Amino acid sequence: MKVAVLISNYNRGDLLERSLWLLGRQTHYCQVYIADCGSEDNWEEIAKEYGAIYEQIKKPEDQRSGPYFGWLWGYQRAEADFIILSHPEVMVPINAVELMLKEYQEVRRVAAQPFCLGPYQQIKIDMVDWQDSLNNLRELPGFWNYQNYWGFTNAEAEHHYEQFIFTGMMREDWDYYGFLPGHPESEYFMGYEDWLAPIERATNKMCVRASFPVYHQFHSWDRIGMPSGLDELVNKEQSVRIKRIQDDAMSIEDKELWDYLQKRS
């Protein structure tokens, strides 16, 4: 069965490489499609190296931001029976595609539960043998208590798997619902998991939780831009995301973390 993994990218080159390294070693082959919305980093070089089909696209001004338009670009081009939506920062086990196909049920989306890396775990990632076993990441200090982007900790992630972090269905089943995220003619255009989960519940075709987790790399500093000075981190007028980074960092007495944040600012 032909499988396509669709990724919508924006300035995630440093995180994208790990994602593609793992997707390129899947026990069931998958073709990766990357739509880039104006990145200025080395994403194209990385995409080419790992054999992805890619293009830098211009998002129409009337399209909202986010991965939706990029996913649609890939969906329109992918010659595959099974379509998986993912992100450039997501790291998956090397048998993720094989397991997803085995666990798929007709017209029922399969989604993996997401574990998130905090800033401390992210800078430690090269110090563990994640290429051999992603589960090693769970042993990093602070992993289970890290509160992720959706407001719950990794210890609570088991009950939150509907997110569109790594999720897939047969192409005809995406069509069954009559739309895809970002489709310009869809009344559910503003959705994400929000546009599909209510329909899944209403039709008694609830999302199936995959037997494997995936790992969402930390990227908040890329999205918001870290302030250049340490004193600025404690400014109460900073965004909620910066405050979250500050709280996470302040809970770890490790100069190495601060040095790294400064380099990324």
pLDDT digits (tens, 9 = 90+) for 22-50: 999 999 999 999 998 888 888 999 999 99
Mean pLDDT of 192-202: 67
Fold of 3-116+157-218: Spore Coat Polysaccharide Biosynthesis Protein SpsA; Chain A (3.90.550)
Predicted pLDDT of residue 201:
74
Predicted pLDDT of residue 230:
34
81 Cβ contact list (under 8 Å, min separation 6) = 1, 2, 3, 170, 171
Under a CB-based contact definition with an 8 Å cutoff, are residues 88 and 15 in contact? yes
| Mean residue pLDDT across the chain | 77
Under a CB-based contact definition with an 8 Å cutoff, are residues 185 and 66 in contact? no
Looking at the predicted structure, is the pLDDT value of residue 66 above 90?
A: no
pLDDT digits (tens, 9 = 90+) for 238-248: 344 444 444 55
Mean pLDDT of 170-174: 88
DSSP character string of 142-185: TTTT-B-TTS-BGGGGGG---STTSEEEEHHHHHHTT--TT-TT
Predicted pLDDT of residue 123:
80
Under a CB-based contact definition with an 8 Å cutoff, are residues 149 and 116 in contact? yes
Please indicate whether residue 227 or residue 123 has the higher confidence score (pLDDT).
Answer: 123
Predicted pLDDT of residue 247:
52
Which contiguous run of DSSP H or E holds residue 83?
strand 82-86
Among the ranges given (27-31, 129-133, 139-143), the one the predictor scored with the smallest mean pLDDT: 129-133
Say how far apart CA 107 and CA 232 lie, in whole Å.
49
DSSP character string of 27-55: SS--EEEEEESS--SSHHHHHHHTT-EEE
Which contiguous run of DSSP H or E holds residue 256?
helix 255-264
Under a CB-based contact definition with an 8 Å cutoff, are residues 113 and 157 in contact? yes
Per-domain residue ranges of the chain? 3-116+157-218, 224-264
pLDDT digits (tens, 9 = 90+) for 103-115: 998 778 899 999 9
Angle in degrees, CA 167, 93, 4, rounded to 5: 45
Predicted pLDDT of residue 30:
97
pLDDT digits (tens, 9 = 90+) for 87-102: 999 999 999 999 999 9
Could you tell me the CA-to-CA distances from 57 to 8, 9, 49, 54, 127 in Å, in that order?
10, 10, 19, 9, 35
Predicted pLDDT of residue 212:
93
111 Cβ contact list (under 8 Å, min separation 6) = 161, 162, 163, 164, 165, 166, 167, 207, 208, 209, 210
Say how far apart CA 55 and CA 50 lie, in whole Å.
14
Please indicate whether residue 62 or residue 204 has the higher confidence score (pLDDT).
Answer: 204
Please indicate whether residue 229 or residue 66 has the higher confidence score (pLDDT).
Answer: 66
Please indicate whether residue 2 or residue 189 has the higher confidence score (pLDDT).
Answer: 2
Q: How confident is the model at residue 235 (pLDDT cuts 50, 70, 90)?
A: very low
The structure tokens 């908040």 sit at 220
Tell me the pairing of strands 90-91 and 31-36. Answer: unpaired
40 Cβ contact list (under 8 Å, min separation 6) = 11
Predicted pLDDT of residue 258:
54
Predicted pLDDT of residue 232:
39
DSSP state of 207: P
Of 116, 217, 79, 97, the closest CA to residue 168 belongs to 97
Mean pLDDT of 118-133: 80
Predicted pLDDT of residue 245:
47
Q: Is the pTM of this model over 0.75?
A: yes
Please indicate whether residue 205 or residue 233 has the higher confidence score (pLDDT).
Answer: 205
Looking at the predicted structure, is the pLDDT value of residue 256 above 80?
A: no
